[in-house]
A and B are shown apart, each in its own frame.
Chain A
Amino acid sequence: MHAHFGRAPFFVTVNVETMEYEAIPNPAASSTTGAGAQAAQLLVRNNVQAVAAGNVGPHATSVLQKAGIRVYVAREGTVREAVEALVHGQLEQQAEATMTGDSRKRRT
Chain B
Amino acid sequence: MIIAVASGKGGTGKTTVATNLALATAGERPVQLLDCDVEEPNAHLFLRPSIDHSVVVEIPVPRVDPQRCTCCGLCADVCPQHALSVIPGQVLVFAELCHGCGACSLACPEQAISEVGRSLGAVEAGTAGSISFVQGRLNVGEAFALPVVRAVKKMADHQRVVIVDVAPGTSCPVVQALKGVDFCLLVTEPTPFGLHDLTLMFAVVQKLQLPAAVVINRAGPDDTRVQAFCHENHLQVLMEIPEDRRVAEGYARGIPLVQTDPRWAVGFRQLFHDIVRLAERNPG
Asked if A and B form a direct contact in the complex, defined as CB atoms under 8 angstroms apart, the reply is yes
Which residues of A pack against B, CB within 8 Å? Answer: 28, 31-35, 37-38, 40-41, 44, 59, 62-63, 66-67
B77 CB, min distance to chain A CBs, angstroms: 10
- Chain A residues with CB under 8 Å of B92's CB are 37, 62-63, 66
Closest residue of chain B to A38 (Cβ to Cβ) is B82
Known: A33-B97, A34-B97, A37-B92. Contact between A66 and B82, CB under 8 A? Answer: no
B90 close to chain A: CB less than 8 A:
yes
Q: Is the CB of B81 within 8 A of A66?
A: no
Q: Contacts A33-B82, A37-B82, A59-B94 known; list 13 others, CB within 8 Å.
A: A33-B81, A34-B79, A34-B81, A34-B85, A34-B94, A38-B85, A40-B85, A44-B87, A59-B97, A63-B85, A66-B90, A66-B92, A67-B87
- Chain B residues with CB under 8 Å of A38's CB are 82, 85
Compute the total of residue contacts between A and B using a CB distance below 8 Å. 41
CA of A67 to CA of B83 in the docked complex: distance in angstroms?
A: 17
B76 close to chain A: CB less than 8 A:
yes
The A-contacting residues of B in range 83-97, CB under 8 angstroms, are 83, 85-88, 90, 92, 94, 97
Which residues of B pack against A, CB within 8 Å? Answer: 76, 79, 81-83, 85-88, 90, 92, 94, 97
Known: A33-B97, A34-B97. Contact between A67 and B82, CB under 8 A? Answer: no
- Chain B residues with CB under 8 Å of A62's CB are 92, 94
Q: Is the CB of A41 within 8 A of B81?
A: no
A56 CB, min distance to chain B CBs, angstroms: 14
- Chain B residues with CB under 8 Å of A33's CB are 81-83, 97
- Chain A residues with CB under 8 Å of B94's CB are 34, 37, 59, 62
Q: Is the CB of B76 within 8 A of A44?
A: no
30 contacts between A and B (CB under 8 A): A31-B82, A32-B81, A33-B81, A33-B82, A33-B83, A33-B97, A34-B79, A34-B82, A34-B83, A34-B94, A35-B82, A37-B82, A37-B85, A37-B92, A38-B82, A38-B85, A40-B85, A41-B76, A41-B85, A41-B86, A44-B87, A59-B85, A59-B94, A62-B92, A62-B94, A63-B85, A63-B87, A66-B90, A66-B92, A67-B87
CA of A44 to CA of B87 in the docked complex: distance in angstroms?
A: 7
CA of A93 to CA of B94 in the docked complex: distance in angstroms?
A: 24
CA of A35 to CA of B83 in the docked complex: distance in angstroms?
A: 10
B284 CB, min distance to chain A CBs, angstroms: 32
- Chain B residues with CB under 8 Å of A35's CB are 82
